[in-house]
Structure formats: C-alpha cells, structure tokens
Amino acid sequence: MGIIAGGGALPARLAAAAKTAGRAVFVVKLDGHANDDDLDSYPNVTVRLGAAAKILDAMRSHECQDVVLAGKVVRPSFSAMRPDWRATKLLMKVGMKALGDDGLLRLVGEELEREGFRLVGAHEILTDLAVPEGVLGTIKPDEQALSDAKHGLAVARTLGAADVGQGCVVQQGLVLALEAIEGTDEMVRRSANYRREGVGGVLVKSSKPQQDKRLDLPAIGLTTIEEAHKSGLRGVALLAGGTMIIDRDAVIARANDLGLFVIGLAGPDKDVEHGV
C-alpha cells in the first residue's frame, strides 16, 4: 500500500494499521507537509508536491497497488509548487487559475486511477475515523448550541460548495470566524477575539458537497479539542459521514474532561448524498 503523506498524525496511523493488517507499506512524504517522525520507520521517499512523475515512479517501483492520500496539504501557489512536466501537463488540463482549493487533490486522485492505482479512502483503513450521527461523548449540546451547530453546518456547506474552507465558529447565531486556508486550529484561536457575551460558540466542520470521500476528508484531533476549549467554545459539531476524528477514543475522553460536547450531524443534503 502506498501512502501519500501530508501533515499531521493521520498518515502514520494509517501506516501502522496497514502494517498490523500484514500489508507492506511505502510512504511518499510530501516535502514541507509530512511532519510525523513515525513515518521514517517505513520505507519512504520525500518528494515535493509538484514532482508528479517522481511520485508515480516511486510508487510503481515499490509495487504499490492501493494508494491512500492522507494528512494536511495546503495547496501552494503555482510558482511555489515548481511543477515538473508531468504535473504541468496535469495542471494544463484544468487551468491552474480556475483551480479551487480542493481541485488539486481531485486531480491527483483521478490521475492515480488513470495510472492504474486503486485509490483508497483513509476511513476504509481506519474504520473508526468516520464520524457517526449523534452525541459522541457524555456532554449534550443545549438548544442554543444545537441551533448554532445547525446554522454553522449550513454555512460551512455553502462555503464548501464554492470549493473554499469547510469550517466555521458560530456563537448565538453569529458567525465569528470562517475557515479559508489558515486551518481549523488557527480559525478557532482567532474566534476568541470576536467572542460575544453569554454562552460560548460551537466549532463546525463539514466536507464539501462535491468532495470525493476517498480524498482527505476534514479531520479533527486532540489539538482541535484543546484549542476549542481555550477559545471558550462549548463543543464541536461534525458532518456525520463527511468528516473524520483521529484517535476518536482519546478525543472524546478529553472532550468529556473539558466539558465539551462532540456531535455528528446529518447533512442538510442527506437525501441527495444517499448512496455516495
């Protein structure tokens, strides 16, 4: 199994799970993104994001069949990416200018399949990653928090439809912060500056309506819970089936300790998504 690894803890978790299942693992560490030292215990190579040919060659020479893309990848500008001929050809197809924040990943996924690899979702390997519907911990959201969560989900979905961020912070109906490229934790920290009097807000994470679930679903982890608590939020609402929790047991335990709720919400467009 090949793992194309971005930042955060997810890639190493996947590698460990695959190894435990008796599979051979090869890791392509994306330069400037992959930052988990645990990845070095597997055969690996470090490649920059723009070096598409090198990524494909490395995975082929290590006889990867399944490929999973995992971890945080921030799309660089065209000039920072320094695409090789292979990546340039790929980018020419869609036009770099028109590319939304997720367009690049989708493109990579399609290209991998065209090259004969089988694209696998992280949630197919770590089955507890996907967020189920309902309250996940011991803390339950009250009526205001639930209303904030639902409003936030609608806002995040709208954002996602424009291929931008997938998160926001809502307090008493007010959207305190919207996530673009800065990442969830940064956005949560910022939201504390705009906090209003009264009961605290809710962090909401969604996926984009058009998102391929095998590609980099939005994920939260322990840090997210810690930051949410520090910023005075009362809980986290996640799109059920469209987001991931890394280390669910630890995350829920910590949320319980800190008095934060964690809830999986069905999407507003649940019926449309049925069967995806």
**CA-based nearest residue to 51, from 66, 34, 29, 67:** 29
End-to-end CA distance of the chain: 24
Q: 179 is written with which tokens?
A: 């996530």
By CB under 8 A, residue 177 contacts a second copy:
yes
CA separation for the pair 246, 99 (Å, rounded): 28
Q: 96 is written with which tokens?
A: 């770099």
CA separation for the pair 225, 222 (Å, rounded): 5
Choose between 23 and 196: whose C-beta lies nearer to a second copy: 196
Q: Where are the alpha helices (DSSP H) in the chain?
A: 10-20, 52-61, 78-81, 85-94, 103-114, 122-125, 143-161, 184-191, 222-230, 248-258, 270-273
Of the candidate residues 17, 45, 119, 164, the single one contacting a second copy (CB under 8 A) = 164
Q: Considering only 31-39, 46-54, 108-116, 174-182, which stretch makes contact with a second copy by CB under 8 A?
A: 174-182
Site map 121..160 versus a second copy, x via CB under 8 A: -----------------------x--x---x--xx--xx-
Of the candidate residues 36, 101, 102, 111, the single one contacting a second copy (CB under 8 A) = 101
Of the candidate residues 24, 135, 181, 272, the single one contacting a second copy (CB under 8 A) = 181
Q: Considering only 7-15, 26-34, 95-103, 230-238, which stretch makes contact with a second copy by CB under 8 A?
A: 95-103
Of the candidate residues 7, 8, 137, 165, the single one contacting a second copy (CB under 8 A) = 165
How is 112-136 classified by DSSP, letter by letter?
Answer: HHHTTPEE--HHHHSTT-BPPSEE-
Minimum CB separation from a second copy for residue 99, in Å? 5
Q: Which residues sit at the interface with a second copy, rule CB under 8 A?
A: 75-80, 96-101, 144, 147, 151, 154-155, 158-159, 161-162, 164-165, 168, 171-182, 190, 193-194, 196-198
